Amino acid sequence: MKSIKKRYFIAGTDTDVGKTMIACALLAQARSQGLTTAAVKPVAAGCIETKDGLRNDDAQQLLAQCTLPLYYEQVNPVAFIDPIAPHIAAQKEGQRMQVDRLVGYTSGVIMQGADLTLVEGAGGWRVPVNERETLADLAIGLSIPVVLVVGMRLGCINHALLTVEAITRDGLTLAGWVANCVDPEMIELDANIATLKDRIPAPMLGLVPNLVSVDSPLARIEACQTYLKLNLLLK
């Protein structure tokens, strides 16, 4: 199969909107089509101590979907224990993150040339890295298109449209967006989807139902695949 070398930054409208599940499902789809895959979660706050060092569950899920022989530290080069805003976690641990270093770590994986490489952000678009930089600056530094995961719940229209506006203003291409139903009882879901479709100038890559009742992360990833249109990202 011809190498296609697609790279995308996975952003979210907020924290806990399902970025990792969506990213893993896209990578799993690519693997099932015989494509090579790689992923990076440059910054992860919320890790546990292991004999091998700090480990983050989201980063480990991404690593499991990579066909390239990557080490954990390549997938998640900057890790913090506390599940809080990364720049605050860094301050607590006496560290200072810099976007140029995050770009360097991430570019090292991108340069390995997987057919599909996904870079997952943390929280929303403007999450601070330090006193003057944000994770948006990482996406800008990498200069790759963005896939936006919209957490479908009350208030999501405003969050989604403001994020789309910021991505565009930052000079990046919005390749597509995913509606992920984080609130299983959201009122007027269809009307909200219609509004977003009408106002977001990029294709909807999928409408993912609430999968919290699915037993395990791997099962959720498998179920999630059936609702996503990876082909729209491989053109």
The DSSP code for 51 is T
Cα Rg, the chain, nearest whole Å:
17
41 is catalytic: yes
Q: What is the C-alpha to C-alpha distance for residues 118 and 110, in angstroms, rounded to an integer?
A: 9
Letter for the amino acid at 15?
T
Q: What is the C-alpha to C-alpha distance for residues 176 and 150, in angstroms, rounded to an integer?
A: 11
**Half-sphere exposure at residue 32, Cβ-oriented, CA atoms within 13 angstroms:** 12
Question: In 26-35, which positions are buried (b, 16+ CB within 10 angstroms) versus exposed (e)?
Answer: bbbbbbeeeb
The torsion angles phi and psi of 192, rounded to 5 degrees, stand at -65, -40
Tokens of 13: 């409208």
The torsion angles phi and psi of 78, rounded to 5 degrees, stand at -120, 115
**Half-sphere exposure at residue 109, Cβ-oriented, CA atoms within 13 angstroms:** 33
Catalytic entry in 41, 51, 92, 235: 41
Which residues does the annotation mark as catalytic? 41
